[in-house]
Amino acid sequence: MSDPATRAGAPGTVHVVGAGVAGLACAVRLAGQGRGVAVHEATDHGGGRCRSLFEPALGRTIDNGNHLLLSGNDGARAYLRETGALDSLRCAPRAAFPFVDLASGARWTVRPNRGRIPWWIFSPARRVPGTRAGDYLAGLKLAFARETATVADCFDTEAPAYERFWRPLAIAVLNIAPEEGAARLLWPVMRLTFGRGEAASRPCVAREGLSASFVEPALARLRALGTEIRLGRRLKALETQGPRVRALVFAEERIELGPADRAVLAVPPEAAAQLVPGLKVPGDARAIVNAHFLLPRVPAAIPGGSPLLGVIGGAAEWMFVRGDVASVTVSAANALAARAAEEIAAKIWPEVVRALNLGPHVAAELPPHRIIKEKRATFAQTPDSLPLRAKTRTRFANLWLAGDWTDTGLPATIEGAIRSGFAAARAAAESPAQLAP
């Protein structure tokens, strides 16, 4: 393979450490601009949390976690376009969000309208039963929330709209209870999606799986551009000298950075704090639990052909169906993640049966399943954590940071991770061709 530093006359090599979505986005953007790039990843696979795996118990390929995108996620769509994988995303033809209340059996669908003016909130047929238009206009308070405000501070927590709309939305987006979650992080999501109308609010999922959409096409694109991709290489230390990183120290070798070389750390916050002297990062984390079940009969469909179903009144929060596999996501799940996998499966499976109308006889026996616990899925997105989100630029002239935990202005989501990678790529590309030693 050719030396990345000699490609297209590129001024040195950008070493991207971490092949999660943030690192891949950074590398794809830089390599696409003709710059020399080398990618280093500690594990034996790319994608980080955003990946697929074959589960023998189900005999199916499942996603490590369920990740929902909306059509207004411009960063994710740009990334998929650059890797040639935009068609791998399946978006609903219309914005529609079906819900079921397991306690009452009630079902409804939230259906935003076309155009930017949200007249749908004035239509009882389009909003949550028992709610009023003012319950949704209250979301504007998020735009003016003070830095210390939580999501719950912005709403009437006794109103039906809070329990049936704002609370599940906030937990899904922020992976934290709205009584703790930072209001300032929920508003950008509302502005970029629901605030732009129905066309920006359509739910989208990976057609065949996260790896097939977000990982494999990116790796293929990078290899086609001559990018060196090294897996199973954990960065042990950064050697620094004055305002520069002098070398990257791996277990296998030491890579010295020349005056034209750069580095981007796209690693979890705790790893970044260990590598970068003096770097402060968010320390607390929140878990996500994902449960995957092989359905005993096919087809099982979510109302209206939607890719997801919101669940109220149970442990489950969002359900996804792909083929004969039902997948459940539980966010803000620190307590649930502490329980045994079989106990979690036994608790969630009856909820799947009821939500998907599989019939009472199906609930008697657990089907093949897999429980995946991500105990540090995201940093705890509280108001106190916001000042600890690191900037893209570091105090070292040739080192930048990427990751959904950095100061993107967005929550820790795929969209935030990709935008952080693009920001790091832009900063590295705009830095002087020769950095002073």
Per-residue pLDDT of the chain (437 residues; tens, 9 = 90+): 334 443 333 469 999 999 999 999 999 999 999 999 999 999 999 999 899 999 999 999 999 988 889 999 999 999 999 999 999 999 999 999 999 999 999 999 999 999 889 999 999 999 999 999 999 999 999 999 999 999 999 999 999 999 999 999 999 999 999 999 999 999 999 999 999 999 999 999 999 999 999 999 999 999 999 999 999 999 999 999 999 999 999 998 999 999 999 999 999 999 999 999 999 999 999 999 999 999 987 667 787 778 899 999 999 999 999 989 999 999 999 999 999 999 999 999 999 999 998 887 776 789 999 999 999 999 999 999 999 999 999 999 999 999 999 999 999 999 999 999 999 999 999 987 555 55
Task: CATH number of the domain at 263, please.
Answer: 3.50.50.60
Same domain, residue pair 118 and 259:
no
Can you give the pTM of this predicted structure? 0.94
CB-facing half-sphere around the CA of 201: CA atoms within 13 A: 21
Do residues 127 and 185 both lie within one domain? yes
Query: Is the same domain home to 324 and 368?
Result: yes
The C-alpha atoms of residue 425 and residue 152 are separated, in whole angstroms, by 36
Indicate if 365 and 386 belong to the same structural domain.
no
Q: Is 315 a member of any domain?
A: yes
Whether 22 is covered by a domain: the verdict is: yes
Number of domains in the chain: 3
Q: Is 367 found in the same domain as 300?
A: yes
CA distance 151 to 165: 12
Does residue 422 belong to any structural domain of this protein? Answer: yes
Question: Domain check: are 279 and 387 in the same one?
Answer: yes
**Is residue 334 situated within a structural domain?**
yes
Report which of 9, 7, 59 is spatially closest to residue 228, judged by C-alpha positions. 7
Q: Where a domain ends, among 379, 398, 419?
A: 379
Single-letter amino acid code for the residue at 169: L
321 and 273 part of one domain: no
Residue 223 included in any domain = no
Which of 361, 379, 397 is a domain's end point?
379
> Does residue 322 form part of some domain?
yes
Q: Per the structure block, which two tokens stand in for 325?
A: 């596999």
pLDDT of residue 437: 53
Q: Are 313 and 426 within one domain?
A: no
pLDDT of residue 433: 59
Please identify, among 181, 199, 217, the residue that sits at the C-terminal boundary of a domain.
199
pLDDT at 229: 97
Residue 145 lies in domain: 113-199
Based on the fold, state whether residues 121 and 162 are members of the same structural domain: yes
Q: Is residue 204 part of a domain?
A: no
CB contact set of 167 (below 8 Å; sequence gap of 6+)? 178
Q: Give long-range contacts, CB 8 A cutoff, 24+ apart: 316-323.
A: 316/291, 316/348, 316/351, 316/352, 316/355, 317/168, 317/171, 317/172, 318/66, 318/68, 318/168, 318/172, 319/352, 319/355, 319/356, 320/66, 320/68, 320/205, 321/295, 321/356, 322/205, 322/209, 323/60, 323/298
Confirm whether 216 is domain-assigned: no
Same domain, 364 and 311: yes
Question: Is 295 found in the same domain as 342?
Answer: yes
Do 312 and 368 have their domain in common? yes
